[in-house]
Amino acid sequence: MGAWLRSGRSRGPTPAEGRGPVRAAVDLLDAGPFDVVVLGGGNAALVAALTAREAGRRVLLLERAPEAQRGGNSRHTRNIRCVHDGNDGRSVGGYGFDELWSDLCGVGDGPADEKLAALTIRASAELPAWMSARGVRWQAALAGTLQLDRTNRFFLGGGKALVNTYYRRAAALGVHVAYGVTAEDLVVEGDRCTAVVASCAGRTFEVAAKAVVCAAGGFEANLEWLRAYWGDAVDSFVVRGPRDNDGRVLRALYRAGARRVGREEGFHAVAVDARSPRFDGGIATRIDAIPFGIVVNRDAQRFYDEGEDIWPKRYAQWGRNIARQPGQIAYCLWDSKAAGRFLPPMFPPLQAGSVDELALQLGLDPRALGATVDSYNSRAGDPATFRPGEPDGCATRGLVPPKSNWALPLDQPPFFAVPLRPGITFTYLGVAVDERGRVVGADGTPFVNVTAAGEIMSGNILSSGYLAGFGMTIGTVWGRIAGRTAADVAA
Amino acid sequence: MSRREALRAEAVRQLRICDACRYCEGYCAVFPALERRSPEIEGSVDYLANLCHDCRACYYACMYAPPHEFAVNIPRILQDARLAGYDEFVSRRAPHRPLLRGQWVVPAAALGLISLLVATVSAASVGLGAFWRHGHGAASPYQSLPYPALLVLAGIPTLWGVAILARANVRYWRATGGLRGASVRPAALYRALRDAAVLANLRGGGGECFYPDERPSPLRRRLHAAVAYGFVLCVASTVSAAVEQDLLGVQPPYGLFSVPVLLGLVGGVALVVGCAGLIWLKLRSDPAPESVAMAVRDYGLLFWLGLLSASGLAVLGLRWSTVAGAAFLVHLAVVLTAFVLAPYTKFAHVGYRVLALVQDAAERAGRRSAPAPAPGGGRPA
């Protein structure tokens, strides 16, 4: 081992190769051997690469996107959830293990592997200092905002600023980063991976490695894979992250015999504007108006309690709700009373002087929509009890389904509406890992030198449900663990 | 749709995406201001554009920056919007537009004409001895131009420049709605002036500005401070000379360790270093978040300020030489031309920027007691 070899499948230089970035990537792939090869270019991959490099290893990171779009789903993130004792000078009050543990138990089916979930929470305490030491900057807590300021720390400028910081750090430390390179497969002999098969500009390479970190995310952009579970409904799904997340590395791990974790068909989704681009629309396309209006399906019928719970739990509910409706489409309606109470949508909402007119604009049956709105209005809550800042119990009376909070009637024109689609954030299906981040085979024994971090293994911690900022916690904790293990193995 | 309307529409399109995202709210004053102006973005473009200090942090942090199809590039679109505002506020008449375009022909012609005027007045009042001499000791400017002539020659362009700039700032204030019902308390005014004085908005939420490329660096902020304070020192030098002469009765030339000379020397050196440094940085700056039209103006202003200070330093350096008179007259011609042209150059940004900071501080103070956000509001994760 040790020497790299160019695969026999290589087709020689292509016209595209003359350009700078491709040339640079190809040169890197030819510049082995590397101690640690990291597959992926988001948060978990970067943390693993930095960790292995700081341990003195020669590290190559393969990012599938070009440099301008590097960072995967992490570009769209904004904060991280860590336990702390409240003495960090940022927030009032601490956020301890027990509280985060109970928050985790409150979402979906709760922690998947309790041992690994507990390990993740304990390790989260070290993250803010670790990140700050690598140049990450934090947004000052804003006065009077959500309780999220206590539980979550916000990256100054968001996730892309975070990954930029890590890429700068990686460059300064001498991590080799190859952009525009797709990790296709792993060459596995027994319980050991000897090389990574990667493609770039139409050529295929085998990159020898002493250890491999798989941090290439889920398969939420692989519509054909999702179709296996969701049928033609996938044609209506919007994918909030980049189209590169097709689960190629996840598949390669399954081919190599890795054990599956997480719900196979499971994904986290929110309600996004139906006018969003198919891929990579990120945060700006999500619709936040639901608690202040009503949501109907294409038959102009309500189907779920719009006032069920406060953000952020509610936030995660609506993607699935809409995915289960006919045509996977819904429409959120509100009136002029509600304007300004929620984050404004990116695309201007449709607007009409009457519900009838709005129905025509939306292509809904005006009589059916009129009947739904009339029925809702006649059973709406008492406006005197309306409190926009908290669950107010201003609930509908005798309506099915109910609206349990903020149920003001829709009676003040102009009326507004946006069409909604399920917007998939990430998938839950992943590979099992052990406490050192090593990928576990179907028979329960771990691969010696294959580790995983981030979304590709988050199903070990959380197999359904969603806790704001915890995806970045998993990515950072396990990026560090996987990077350390890879560095140890490659020593 | 006019170019200005098209530009405004594009700015509104991009700002709506920002308003729906809000990830950049920690960087500078623009994004919190955008949140406050959320229902009325269309009418807030000029205000937001002049509040933007072009630190570019948001561009590098933006997942929607090109090549993303949303093509969000706030520094660039706000530069273009600022530029359109500069033109509109300073002059609505077409004949001035060539001046605004940052071309070299008009400024060069202006400098030529003014030099001729200065030389003529000087020669007519003093004779050819105005340009060179064989005397001893430091030259007095009045050996080249008598005080009353100097006063008239310098006064007219100065008053002209100040008047045009004042009118432009009034127009900005009206176009943006002024304080819009908010009041400026001393604390808010102090905050606005402090933010302007330390260029707080070039520090991107505690970091530094991303200039000339994606790596944060304090260089631009420091060089800008050198230019700004260098200019202030040079103005102070002139004012102190007037005080020495008219109030204290001390006639020029002033000694090397006198207040006017020291202020002018330090200010002039700071200006030359700052201008040269900023030009050097700009030549290396990432073109992606940069408006070419604005860059042309930037170069223009830096060139003029550089020339101004270099010619001023030359007067000091050559004051014992035979060409002391000529050096003084060249500097005077450059100063006068600069005053005439100042309203049409990027020099005008100073007023709009300070006014925008005052508007921002007043609005922020007025919003201290705003109601808590709705459960749907606040920050997406």
Which residue from B minimizes the CA distance to A76? B63
Domain count, chain B: 1
Which residue from B minimizes the CA distance to A135? B207
Looking at the domain assignment, is residue B212 inside a domain?
yes
Which architecture does CATH list for A269-423? Alpha-Beta Complex (3.90)
Chain B residues touching residue A310 (CB < 8 angstroms) = 375
The amino acid occupying position B322 is T
Chain A residues touching residue B206 (CB < 8 angstroms) = 137, 140, 156
Looking at the domain assignment, is residue B17 inside a domain?
no
H helices within A38-85, ranges in order?
43-54
Three-state DSSP class for A471? helix
* C-beta atoms of A388 and B375 within 8 A: yes
* Distances in whole angstroms, Cα of residue B233 to Cα of each of A170, A228, B63, B151, B311: 43, 73, 42, 21, 15
Looking at the domain assignment, is residue B33 inside a domain?
no
Looking at the domain assignment, is residue B43 inside a domain?
no
Q: What is the pLDDT of residues B96-143, one digit of tens each?
A: 555 555 567 888 888 999 999 999 998 888 887 777 765 667 778 888
Looking at the domain assignment, is residue B302 inside a domain?
yes
Low-confidence ranges of chain B (pLDDT < 50): 369-381
**Distance from A383 to chain B by nearest Cα, in Å?**
16
Which residue from A minimizes the CA distance to B18? A284
Per the omega criterion (within 30 degrees of 0), is the bond before B32 cis?
no
Per-residue pLDDT of chain A (491 residues; tens, 9 = 90+): 333 333 333 344 444 445 588 888 988 988 888 999 999 999 999 999 999 999 999 999 999 999 999 999 999 999 999 999 987 767 668 899 999 999 999 888 889 999 999 999 999 999 999 999 999 999 887 644 455 778 999 999 999 999 999 999 999 999 999 999 999 999 999 999 999 999 999 999 999 999 999 999 999 999 999 999 999 999 999 999 999 999 999 999 999 999 999 888 889 999 999 999 999 999 999 998 999 999 999 999 999 999 987 555 666 788 888 999 999 999 999 999 998 888 888 999 999 999 999 999 999 999 999 999 999 999 999 999 999 888 899 999 999 999 999 999 999 999 999 999 999 999 999 999 999 999 999 999 999 999 999 999 999 998 888 888 999 999 999 999 999 999 999 99
Chain A residues touching residue B372 (CB < 8 angstroms) = 144, 389
Chain B contact probe: residue of A70, A77, A90, A137 with most B CBs at under 10 A: A137
CB atoms within 10 A of CB A251: 15
The gap from C-alpha A410 to its chain's centroid, in whole angstroms, comes to 34
B225 neighbors B231 (Cβ within 8 angstroms): no
Chain B contact probe: residue of A169, A275, A283 with most B CBs at under 10 A: A283
* C-beta atoms of A389 and B19 within 8 A: no
* C-beta atoms of A69 and B379 within 8 A: no
For chain B, give me the number of helices (H) and strands (E)?
Answer: 14, 0
Which of B16, B61, B381 is the closest to A157 by Cβ?
B61
Task: Identify the H or E element spanning B75.
Answer: helix B74-90
Domain ranges of chain A: 1-265+428-491, 269-423
Residue B131, C-beta contacts closer than 8 angstroms, at least 6 positions apart: B119, B122, B123, B144, B323, B325, B326, B329
Distance between CA atoms of A64 and A72, rounded to whole angstroms? 9
Which residue from A minimizes the CA distance to B17? A346
* C-beta atoms of B24 and A157 within 8 A: yes
DSSP state of A84: B
Distance between CA atoms of A297 and A326, rounded to whole angstroms? 7
Chain A residues touching residue B22 (CB < 8 angstroms) = 343
A334 neighbors A418 (Cβ within 8 angstroms): no
Among residues 187-206 of chain B, which lie with CB inside 8 Å of chain A?
204-206
Most distant CA pair in chain A, distance: 76
Q: Any CB–CB contact under 8 A between B215 and chain A?
A: yes
Distance between CA atoms of B43 and B36, rounded to whole angstroms? 12
* C-beta atoms of A292 and B376 within 8 A: yes
* C-beta atoms of B63 and A282 within 8 A: yes
Which of A144, A341, A346 is the closest to B376 by Cβ?
A341
Q: Any CB–CB contact under 8 A between B65 and chain A?
A: yes
Parallel, antiparallel or unpaired: strands A330-335 and A294-297: antiparallel
* Distances in whole angstroms, Cα of residue A177 to Cα of each of A37, A73, A160, A170, A252: 10, 18, 17, 8, 21
Which residue from B minimizes the CA distance to A348? B16
Distance between CA atoms of B99 and B112, rounded to whole angstroms? 15
Which of A144, A148, A310 is the closest to B379 by Cβ?
A148
Which architecture does CATH list for A1-265+428-491? 3-Layer(bba) Sandwich (3.50)
Looking at the domain assignment, is residue B136 inside a domain?
yes
Residue A446, C-beta contacts closer than 8 angstroms, at least 6 positions apart: A191, A433, A434, A436, A438, A439, A440
Please count the residues of chain A: 491
Looking at the domain assignment, is residue B8 inside a domain?
no
Which of A76, A139, A343 is the closest to B376 by Cβ?
A343
Per the DSSP assignment, residues forming a β-bridge with A268 are A426
Looking at the domain assignment, is residue B10 inside a domain?
no
